[in-house]
Every structure is written in C-alpha cells, then in structure tokens.
Amino acid sequence: MAVLRDIPQVAACLPGAELTEVVDEDDYRGRVGVSLGPVKLRFNGIAHVTERDAAARRLVLDAQGADEKGRGQASLQVVAQLTATSGGTRVSLDQDLDLSGAAAQYGRGMIADVTSTLMGQFAANMQRRIEAKERGEDPDAVGNVTQVGGLALGAQAAKLALMRVFRRFFLPYQRPEGAL
C-alpha cells in the first residue's frame, strides 16, 4: 500500500503524465499528454485523492483537466486495488473517463481502446515498481515498461478495435440457454 500513498510514484507510472505541484496531501496539479493520430492533446488539471484505504489496499483518485489549447475537457476517476498473490502483488484498475471537445470526436470505440491501452501501461508500470520495492530495489531505478507514443498507442488501439470486430463477426453466435 505504500506505493499507493506516494502519489508522485503513482503519477510516474502513467505514460505521458507529469506531476507539476503538490498542493497538499490529497491534491496535486499536473499535465497529461497523449497523441491520437494527428491530434496531440495536453491536459492541465488537478487530481484529488478521494479515498485511501490501507486495510483494503485501495486508492480512489478523481482528476479534471482542460486541454491547453482549449479544445476540450476531461474528467477521470481511477480506482486502484492491490491484491496479494502467491507471486507478489496484483494491480487492478478501474477507470471512468469523460471527454468533451476534440478528443471526444474520435468516437467511443477509439477512446475506449486508447484509454484501455494507457491504463494497461499504467498498471504494468505500477506492477513493475511494486515488484522492485518488494525486492528491496529503488522503484525509480526500474523505470517504466512502456511510454506513451502516438504510433505505438495508435497501433495498440487499432489492434484492440480489430479484435473487437473479429469477435463480433467471426466468432460463432452462442444462443443463451433456453432460447429457441
């Protein structure tokens, strides 16, 4: 749970994020940048820790931001849950993202795929830092597994979209039990 109490450590796990100010124990200012094809968005905002539950090993963070060029706004709630496993610690994330403006014009599927990719990278980076800490290593020395990048992020999002289409059209339809 120590890693979840260290918000600068948590922010370091999110690709494209930069912590710019620690306002107080529960409030932080920062930036998040992401490229969606030709559109590069950079949101400035504030994050507020709404829940820290050491016993449950859970952190809830609410963040709001606006694009630097005035092209939209974003709000995000992230719930991070740590679970002990036989091999160490498992990181689970649940997020609720709301976008308006230029980013929202990409459509639900693309936004969901990009968000899923970013949260997967975030979870992998956090997992790696937790494992380093459990081994007695400096988490900052481990670095991040992945960094956000326009081409790589777009490729991963496209892959998720193709998998969704494949499942929809090529996997056999399974009729619910009892249906005619």
The parent domain of residue 8 ranges over 2-170
In CATH, what number is assigned to the domain containing residue 164?
Answer: 3.30.530.20
User: pLDDT, tens digit, for every residue of 2-51?
Assistant: 777 788 888 888 888 889 999 999 999 999 887 766 667 788 999 999 99
Give me the number of domains the chain comprises.
Answer: 1
In a domain, 175, yes or no: no
| CA–CA dist 70, 155 (Å, integer) | 27
39-53 and 72-85 as β-strands: parallel, antiparallel, unpaired?
unpaired
In a domain, 82, yes or no: yes
Find all residues with CB under 8 Å of 139, minimum gap 6, and list them.
3, 9, 129, 130, 132, 133
In a domain, 177, yes or no: no
User: pLDDT, tens digit, for every residue of 45-74?
Assistant: 999 999 999 889 898 999 999 989 888 888
What is the rounded radius of gyration, in angstroms, for the C-alpha atoms of the chain?
A: 18
In a domain, 73, yes or no: yes
In a domain, 49, yes or no: yes
In a domain, 64, yes or no: yes
In a domain, 178, yes or no: no
In a domain, 85, yes or no: yes
